[in-house]
Structures are given as structure tokens and as C-alpha cells.
Amino acid sequence: MKTIQLFTCGFLALTLTNCQDESVDTSTMDDYNSMANKTLKMSEKMKGHSVYVSSNNSGKLSVFDIQESLEMPSMKSLSLPYMDADGVEYDVNRDAIYQVNRSDKALVTLSHISQTMDGDEIMPTAMGPSTFENGRGSALYNNKVVVVDDVTPGKLVSYHVNEDVISDFRQYNVGFEVWDVHVNGKDLWAIEDVSSNLVYFKDFHNAKSGDLMYSAKVSIEGLIRTHGLDYDAMTDTMVLTDIGSAAVPDDGALVIINEFSNKFMAAMDSGIIPMEDQIRIEGDMTELGNPVDVAVSPAKQAIFVAERAQQKLLIFEMPVSSGNYAPMYSTSVPGASSVTIDF
């Protein structure tokens, strides 16, 4: 064993009764379109074929290679010098993983990740300041990583990141318990923990440290308690997880919302995205109990799930209608807590 050092989303011209006074304009449309075009032009060589899964009890980072097959990926297990980890992000420009190290309450960098072999022990090449207490989900944006601090009331912490240095950037008080986040362009989406609510922050990229007021909040009808989210801007697809009751190991679900921009805007009046605007994967065949994180790949027509109750990585074919679908791939990942992809 060796040791290695290692949304078309401009739609949100909206105001809600509980929004901040600043109006939301449509000028971000050009930013999103520009971002989507850049993504489309990304060299195929830069795109990867790996799925990364954190664990909160094993001291391992699991890496699955799906290049040959979604149904039979190869897998390697990398040892970490800490046991408890959550949010995980891949930086294609640096071939690095940024991971929420809950054991030491710090964000860390794991470098040269594509060069690792099964069984390798990875030592972080950078560790940030300990500025969160209960780190959960994370998101990578513009050489920064924002980490959820799931305390009461909730906080977000943003860091400057690279292979060698992680430094504190900004800290935000969001006023509600938060579990996961997703950054899209200049904006941020957040999961309100212990609820069915999806929260939107306009111009998060420009927000200063301190109290951060949300721009909009909607409830997802039929969802009991959401934890993970992922959004694909090019296809305008939002995917949310529903852990149901945290104490019940087989009542989880996935919620897929196509044409999300229009549906979110339509929810302004009622504050609810109704069941008829959703596709749901749920039932005894799904192996979903407490799906705590999710990554979506419309290009692969697949959804990747960190399933904590069953302690598994699950891969589902992208559904076109609601149903009780078995995953196309299911494998044990002890302590599965977060998932990301590099494609």
C-alpha cells in the first residue's frame, strides 16, 4: 500500500411574501446560458467517468469507475486519516477532491485523485480552518467551496480552495437548519432540514458575510424530509431525496422535477410544487431508506444515490414516470453519506 500526498435558471424573476425586498431580475439568464455553453464545449478528455462516495463511519473514500458499464462499475477504496466525512466535490481543473472532514471539523483537499490505486492511503495536501461545527453537504463554485453547518440556526461557510491552501472566505447565517446546497451560476439552492422545503438565494456569489436572507422558498408536496439535491442546468432537471422518517430504513424516495424553472415559478402563488409536477421513485424494490445525497447525469441518463440507512451506492436509470423501480446497480458502501461525479 502506498501513501499519496495528495438552471436555464434566469426564470427567477419572482417575489414571495417571505422574500427579501430586492427584486429578482432576469439578467442572470445570459450568465446561465454562457455557463451552459462553456460546459457543452468542455473537452471530452476533461470529462471523467468516476463516482465518489464519502463515508461517515469507515475512514474510506469509495471511487467507482463507470466507463465500461453503469451496471457493473469497477471500484477502489481509498483510506483516509479521519473516520467521519460528508460533502464531497471533484475539481476537474486540479484533479482534486474537496471533502468535509467531520472528524476534525475542517474542509480538506485530496490531490492527484485519478492517480490513486485501490487500497492507497491518502493524506490531505491542504486543510482549512475549523469554522464549522456540524458539516454536511457542500458545493464547488469559482475556486470556492461552500460547506453546510447544520446547527440551529443554520450556517454556510465558504472557502477559497486549491491543492495546497484552503482559506476562510465568508460565513453566512441563513436562519434555518440546512442540510445540503447546490450552486448554479451566481445563485444557491439549499435544503431546509426537517422539512419538505427548497430554498433559493439569488446572487449568493456576491453576498457578504453575515445574515443571508433567502429570495424564495417552496415546499415539495408529498415529500416528508429532504436531504440531498442536485440540479442540471442544461436539461433544467432538479432531483431531491426524501429520507422519510430517519428511524425507518425503507421509506425513502427520489423526486425528479423536469422543466424545473417553470414549475418553480408556477409555485409562487401556492408556495408548493404539486405531486403532478413530479416524478417519484419509491417503494420496496428501490432499496431507498435514507437517501442522504444525490448526483444526476442526464448525459448518462442516470441518478447516483448515497443511501445511508442501507449503507449503499445506488444507481437508477432516469425515469420517465413515477414507479417502484429497482436500481440498476446496488453495492455496499459502509456509512455512505455524500456522492459526487466528475462527468
CATH number for the domain harbouring residue 70 = 2.120.10.30
Query: How far from 335 is each of 22, 204, 227, 248, 332, CA to CA, in Å?
Result: 42, 31, 15, 16, 9
DSSP H or E segment with residue 37? helix 28-41
Between CA 202 and CA 213 the distance in angstroms is: 9
Which of 28, 20, 3 is closest to 261 using CA atoms? 28
Strands 237-242 and 74-79, by their bridges, are unpaired
Residues belonging to the chain: 343
Between CA 340 and CA 113 the distance in angstroms is: 14
Interacting residues of 21 by C-beta distance below 8 A, sequence separation 6+: none
Which of 255, 282, 277, 252 is closest to 265 using CA atoms? 277
- By residue range, what is the domain housing residue 284? 3-341
Residue whose grid cell is 473516520: 83
Strands 210-211 and 166-173, by their bridges, are parallel
Q: Consecutive 10-residue runs of the chain (343 residues): their mean pLDDT?
A: 42 38 39 46 62 98 97 97 98 97 98 97 98 98 96 97 97 97 96 96 96 96 97 97 94 98 88 97 98 97 98 98 98 98 96
Residue whose grid cell is 465568508: 170
E-strand ranges in 150-223 read 155-161, 166-173, 178-184, 187-192, 197-201, 210-211, 216-220
Q: Omega into 334 within 30° of 0, i.e. cis?
A: no
pLDDT at position 269 = 76
Please give the model's pTM, rounded to 2 decimal places.
Answer: 0.88
Residue whose grid cell is 480538506: 108
Number of domains in the chain: 1
Contact 289, 266 (CB under 8 A): no
Cell numbers that stand for 11 in this block: 426564470
> How would you class 1 by CB atoms within 10 Å of its CB: exposed for 0-12, middle for 13-18, buried for 19 or more?
exposed
Cell numbers that stand for 105 in this block: 471539523
User: Torsion angle, CA of 273/275/277/278, rounded to 10 degrees?
Assistant: 110
